[in-house]
């Protein structure tokens, strides 16, 4: 679960990471009220779960109430990379001397935590990372050992932070690590972590992703869940009792069982495609479930082809085949379907499909063949769309 900046800052504050005083506002009047409380000048900040708000015009300094009105009015309702701004965070503006970058995340390949720290933080950190990777000091932290004050101090030296910032920055990093571990974050990022002109180090932005697997031990996360904007595709699938994950490619995937769904995703990638989503119809799926799954996938506009990969166990392939046929009769499926069915009652299923096979519904004997076909169809459709 991703948090909004204001929620991330509230989370940081719980652990003692210094942030600026401020408050949320959903209207222009509330923005002015929050500004009066925070003290001018303030910064008016769009709350959307996407980076680059500053460059998109979603972060503005305001010296007085009139300026707050102007900026809050302009930013509320603004579209930032497909996210509509419905809420603002207003905080007392800081005088920035330096902008640093600090984060902790998991390095899955190395099986340890990874801290990243740079003296070159701010809105261009991506370019810094790409062009001057040596400007980012990386620190692997063994989760069984953690990080101590000496390691944090060596790390800020390594990153070449300004001498007057080092002691406070090291303390912030220790706290950020505690927040990341005890707070069960997948990512805890501060960009920028600033040094103010009067020599204080604090967090000016917050990007926090919470680990959903730890939700059971964090009842306080409910307030974050309440503001989550659900992917409409995921909501529709949930209503039908289907497990759906939205992705950003072009091949829609339907499989039975999470394991098969994920290996199907891998095979699609392996043959050069990208998945638009994957939908696990579970075990024992019948015709109704299959029809509902196709409807959900069909409602995803990014889908250019649909790959149905069923290995019948409890799920019977004849039922699945009936579901596909029924769905084709019920809804106008926009993309061609490639289906591979095997396992329980596969022969019967193939017989059911046979009279319906066409360019729009193709059957392939293996997962690899089917994936190749679906990826080729998606590529052809995407190519046409681009012309």
Annotated catalytic sites, by residue? 101, 189
Task: Tell which one of 191, 250, 277, 305 touches Mn ion (CB under 5 A).
Answer: 191
Binding-site string for ligand GDP from residue 114 to residue 143, where x marks contact by CB under 6 A and - marks none: --------xx--------------------
Q: Which entry of Mn ion, ligand GDP, none binds 59, CB below 5 to 8 A by partner kind?
A: ligand GDP
205 or 319: CB nearest Mn ion: 205
Query: CA-CA distances (angstroms) from residue 128 to 102, 115, 369?
Result: 13, 16, 42
Binding-site string for ligand GDP from residue 32 to residue 61, where x marks contact by CB under 6 A and - marks none: -----------x-------xxxx----x-x
What ranges in the chain are assigned the alpha helix state H? 5-15, 28-38, 65-75, 125-131, 149-158, 166-182, 222-226, 232-239, 258-270, 287-298, 317-330, 346-353, 367-386
Told to check if 189 binds ligand GDP by CB under 6 A, we report no
34 or 191: CB nearest Mn ion: 191
Told to check if 20 binds Mn ion by CB under 5 A, we report no
Q: Which entry of ligand GDP, Mn ion, none binds 52, CB below 5 to 8 A by partner kind?
A: ligand GDP
Query: CA-CA distances (angstroms) from residue 38 to 29, 43, 89, 191, 200?
Result: 14, 10, 11, 21, 18
Contact 370, 337 (CB under 8 A): no
Task: Tell which one of 99, 205, 319, 373 touches Mn ion (CB under 5 A).
Answer: 205
Distance CA(61)–CA(277), nearest Å, equals: 40
Q: Which stretch binds Mn ion (CB under 5 A): 58-66, 140-148, 205-213, 269-277?
A: 205-213
Q: Which stretch binds Mn ion (CB under 5 A): 190-198, 242-250, 270-278, 279-287?
A: 190-198
CB-closest chain residue to ligand GDP: 54
Q: Which stretch binds ligand GDP (CB under 6 A): 26-34, 91-99, 104-112, 249-257?
A: 91-99
For the CA atoms of 24, 26, 28, 32, the dihedral, rounded to the nearest 10 degrees, stands at -20
Told to check if 18 binds ligand GDP by CB under 6 A, we report no
Query: CA-CA distances (angstroms) from residue 290 to 82, 279, 310, 334?
Result: 31, 10, 11, 16
Query: CA-CA distances (angstroms) from residue 275 to 188, 241, 256, 299?
Result: 28, 21, 16, 15
Can you tell me whether residue 302 is helix, strand or coil?
coil
Give the residue among 77, 140, 69, 71 at the shortest CA–CA distance from 104.
Answer: 140
Distance CA(375)–CA(270), nearest Å, equals: 10
Task: Tell which one of 3, 6, 99, 276 touches ligand GDP (CB under 6 A).
Answer: 99
Told to check if 309 binds Mn ion by CB under 5 A, we report no
Residues of this chain that interact with Mn ion (CB under 5 A) are 191, 205
Q: Which residues bind ligand GDP (CB under 6 A)?
A: 43, 51-54, 59, 61, 93-94, 96, 99, 122-123, 191-192, 204-205
């Amino acid at each position: 679960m991703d948090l909004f900046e204001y929620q991330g800052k509230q989370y940081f504050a719980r652990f003692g990471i210094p942030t600026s005083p401020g408050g949320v506002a959903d209207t222009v009047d509330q923005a002015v009220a929050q500004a009066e409380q925070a003290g001018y000048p303030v910064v008016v900040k769009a709350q959307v779960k996407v980076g680059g708000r500053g460059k998109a015009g979603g972060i503005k300094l305001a010296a007085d109430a009139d300026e707050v009105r102007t900026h809050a009015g302009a930013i509320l309702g603004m579209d930032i990379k497909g996210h509509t701004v419905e809420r603002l965070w207003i905080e007392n503006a800081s005088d920035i001397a330096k902008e640093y970058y600090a984060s902790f995340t998991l390095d899955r390949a190395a099986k340890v935590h990874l801290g990243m720290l740079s003296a070159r933080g701010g809105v261009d950190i991506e370019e810094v990372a790409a062009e001057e990777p040596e400007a980012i000091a990386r620190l692997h932290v063994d989760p069984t050992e953690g990080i101590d004050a000496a390691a944090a101090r060596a790390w800020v030296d390594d990153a070449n932070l300004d001498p007057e910032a080092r002691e406070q920055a090291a303390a912030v990093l220790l706290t950020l690590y505690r927040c990341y571990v005890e707070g069960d974050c997948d990512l805890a990022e501060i960009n920028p972590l600033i040094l103010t002109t009067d020599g204080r180090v604090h967090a000016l932005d917050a990007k926090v992703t919470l680990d959903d697997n730890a939700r059971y031990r964090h009842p306080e996360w409910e307030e974050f869940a309440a503001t989550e904007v659900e992917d409409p595709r995921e909501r529709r699938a949930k209503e039908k009792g289907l497990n759906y994950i939205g992705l950003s490619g072009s091949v829609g995937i339907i499989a039975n069982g999470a394991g098969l769904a994920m290996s199907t995703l891998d095979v699609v990638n392996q043959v050069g495609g990208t998945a638009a989503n994957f939908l696990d119809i579970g075990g024992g799926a019948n015709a109704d479930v299959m029809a509902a799954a196709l409807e959900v996938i069909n409602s995803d506009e990014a889908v250019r082809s649909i790959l149905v990969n069923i290995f019948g166990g409890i799920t019977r392939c004849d039922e699945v085949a009936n579901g596909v046929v029924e769905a084709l009769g019920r809804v106008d499926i926009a993309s061609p379907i490639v289906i591979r069915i095997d396992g329980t009652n596969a022969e019967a299923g193939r017989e059911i499909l046979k009279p319906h096979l066409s360019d729009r519904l193709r059957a392939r004997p293996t997962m690899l063949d089917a994936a190749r076909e679906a990826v080729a169809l998606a590529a052809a459709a995407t190519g046409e769309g681009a012309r």
